Amino acid sequence: MTDQHIASAFDRDLEEIQAHLMKMGGMVEDAIREGAKSLKRRDEELADTVRKNDKKIDALDLQIQEECARVLALRQPIASDLRTVLTVMKVAANLERIGDYAKNMAKRTTVLVHMPPIDGASGAIKRMAGEAQSMLTDALDAYIRRDADLAHDVRQRDLEIDQMYNALFREFLTFMMEDPRNISSCMHLHFIAKNIERMGDHVTSIADQVIYLVTGEMPDEARPKGNAPNYEIPSSSETGAKG
Amino acid sequence: MTDQHIASAFDRDLEEIQAHLMKMGGMVEDAIREGAKSLKRRDEELADTVRKNDKKIDALDLQIQEECARVLALRQPIASDLRTVLTVMKVAANLERIGDYAKNMAKRTTVLVHMPPIDGASGAIKRMAGEAQSMLTDALDAYIRRDADLAHDVRQRDLEIDQMYNALFREFLTFMMEDPRNISSCMHLHFIAKNIERMGDHVTSIADQVIYLVTGEMPDEARPKGNAPNYEIPSSSETGAKG
């Protein structure tokens, strides 16, 4: 938009809204990173900050939804302009949801710091969260650059998150089997892992929106799916296997 | 809309879209009911049907989103008409998500039928799902009748779902502590319970939209929240307590 010499009123409005969307994206990226960091460091204060910041993310979502509604009413965009505004609304809704999952991670952290730590779990979760955050960065980049290839790439990477989740799921089961005192903390950790996996789904949904915006068509299939998680309790011989 | 003698083109379009929205709502209600029934009866075939039907729900969501975009482009509604179209888009998105959770319940059912049953769990989940489904019925009713009071009532009832979830969470923990062979199935059952709790959140979000549509303002606070779940492992003396 910025390289157009004569910008229409619609373009100016859109640019402002998109700036808010990118600001929101940055806040959500921070929430993922800080949420995982608070878990890793058992830092209740940081977890508290993440929880508080989610209110700001929600407020920004509401603001963006209202700005979009206003643009629809005032500028009455059609064709690709209309599609762009609707995409912004959907991307903001996805970001809001990802922010919720990050808040939830922080919420469970404040509980987990009072429980005995589970070997290696918070590090594995931090890596998983790191991957989700980097996917989000790229998905927002793909949106701004209208880069369908990058969006396709993001979709593919969701497989990795799914695989990381499946590996963790098996590990938590093993820990719980080994010692019932691990059950409570493993349930929380499992939920955190599941929520990061869901973040991946929402990032994928943003990537889908970008592809739709650029090509006019949704990606061929529903997003690629990794192997279904192995729902059986691992036998002791498999305990060391990562998935 | 139907009691207007001279309906505008916009009104006719909206009526058609709303009919699709209600059809989608009915399909999602069915998915919740049948998903819970498949779990209760350990009926893999029914679970399979629920999973397949979710594709139809997703397709209807896509259709509604497109119809709304088309109405925005063609009729360029403003003020309350615009707000209505945007509400329909959001309600459809919420329905799609609730459908996903019902599909997930069916997916886990196909795994759970091959595990030893947990006493009373599927019955409790069926009751919880029944409450979520009845809330949804009322939320959609509130939408069609533009009834903010009914919508407020729906919001309040989400507390009950939260309480049912908290009680189940404690029960599952107890089962897992008692016998590690219960861990795997309790993890699945716990996820199902959590997903129903999330259905409640999405129904609440539909109710919020209705209130916004009728009054022009979002409900005062974020939705009411029950007591935070008790994250501690219940001591044996509390085992019988329901939360």
The three-state (H, E, C) secondary structure of chain A, written as one string: CCCCCCCCHHHHHHHHHHHHHHHHHHHHHHHHHHHHHHHHHCCHHHHHHHHHHHHHHHHHHHHHHHHHHHHHHHHCCCHHHHHHHHHHHHHHHHHHHHHHHHHHHHHHHHHHCCCCCCCCHHHHHHHHHHHHHHHHHHHHHHHHHCCHHHHHHHHHHHHHHHHHHHHHHHHHHHHHHHCHHHHHHHHHHHHHHHHHHHHHHHHHHHHHHHHHHHHCCCCCCCCCCCCCCCCCCCCHHHCCCCC
Mutation target vs B (from A233, A238, A239; most B CBs, 10 A cutoff): A233
d(CA A51, CA A146): 32
Contacts of B83 in chain A (CB under 8 A): 69
- Residue B216's pLDDT band, with cuts at 50, 70 and 90, is confident
Neighbour count for residue B198 (Cβ, 10 Å): 18
Q: What is the pLDDT at residue B172? A: 93
Per-position pLDDT tens, chain A of length 243: 444 456 799 999 999 999 999 999 999 999 999 999 999 999 999 999 999 999 999 999 999 999 999 999 999 998 899 999 999 999 999 999 999 999 999 999 999 999 999 988 999 999 999 999 999 999 999 999 999 999 999 999 999 999 999 999 999 999 999 998 999 999 999 999 999 999 999 999 999 999 999 998 888 664 444 444 434 444 433 333 332
- Tell me if A86 and B79 make a contact (CB, 8 A cut-off): no
Number of domains in chain A: 1
Contact between chains at B190 and A187 (C-beta distance less than 8 A): yes
- Using CA atoms, how far apart are residues A90 and B62, in angstroms rounded to an integer? 13
- B17-24: average pLDDT: 98
A218–B62 CB contact, under 8 Å? yes
* pLDDT recorded at residue A27: 98
In a domain, A243, yes or no: no
Residue A59 in contact with partner chain B when CB distance is under 8 A? no
Residue B180 has its nearest CB partner, among A86, A180, A184, at A180
**Is residue A1 a part of any domain in this protein?**
no
- Is residue B84 included in any domain, yes or no? yes
Chain A residues lying within 8 Å of B190, measured CB to CB: 187
pLDDT mean across residues, chain B:
89
Kindly provide the ipTM of the predicted complex, given to two decimals.
Answer: 0.80
Query: Do the domain assignments include residue B163?
Result: yes
- Domain contains B190: yes
CB pairs under 8 A between A and B: 65
CA separation for the pair B17, B68 (Å, rounded): 7
- Asked whether residue B1 is assigned to any structural domain, the reply reads no
CATH number at residue A195: 1.20.58.220
Question: Does residue A3 sit within a domain?
Answer: no
Domain enclosing residue B128, as ranges: 9-238
Q: Comparing A232 with B98, which gets the higher pLDDT?
A: B98
The answer to whether position B55 is within a domain reads yes
Residues 199-228 of B with CB under 8 A from A: 218, 222
CB contact under 8 A, B82 and A93: no
Q: A215 Cβ partners below 8 Å, 6+ apart?
A: A148
**Looking at the partner chain, which of A62, A72, A173 has a beta carbon nearest the beta carbon of B72?**
A72
Res A129: pLDDT: 97
